[in-house]
């Protein structure tokens, strides 16, 4: 996910398919982008009762492939 606006699309899918639990992960190929987006998404995601996950491999190794 890039921004809070993407949550509306997720909500449509949750409602249409009765999804539970829901996990949201910020999009990004470097740790700075992932953390910035996670901070921006955290409150709106948690307010909906959904779960927020990071991209641990990106936080550790940025955009290095095959790690």
Angle CA 24–8–41, to nearest 5: 40
Mean pLDDT value across residues 6-25: 96
Digit-coded pLDDT (tens) for 26-66: 999 999 999 999 999 999 999 999 999 999 999 999 999 88
3-state secondary structure of 14: helix
Q: Model confidence at 67, in pLDDT bands (50, 70, 90)?
A: confident
Distance (Å, whole) CA 54 – CA 66: 18
Task: Give the pLDDT of residue 1.
Answer: 78
pTM value is 0.84
Task: Give the pLDDT of residue 14.
Answer: 97
């Amino acid at each position: 996910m890039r921004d809070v606006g993407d949550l509306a699309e997720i909500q449509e899918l949750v409602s249409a398919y009765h999804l539970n639990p829901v996990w949201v992960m910020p999009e990004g190929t470097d740790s700075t982008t992932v953390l910035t987006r996670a901070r921006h998404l955290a409150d709106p995601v948690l307010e909906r009762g959904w779960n927020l996950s990071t991209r641990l491999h990106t936080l550790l190794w940025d955009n290095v492939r095959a790690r």
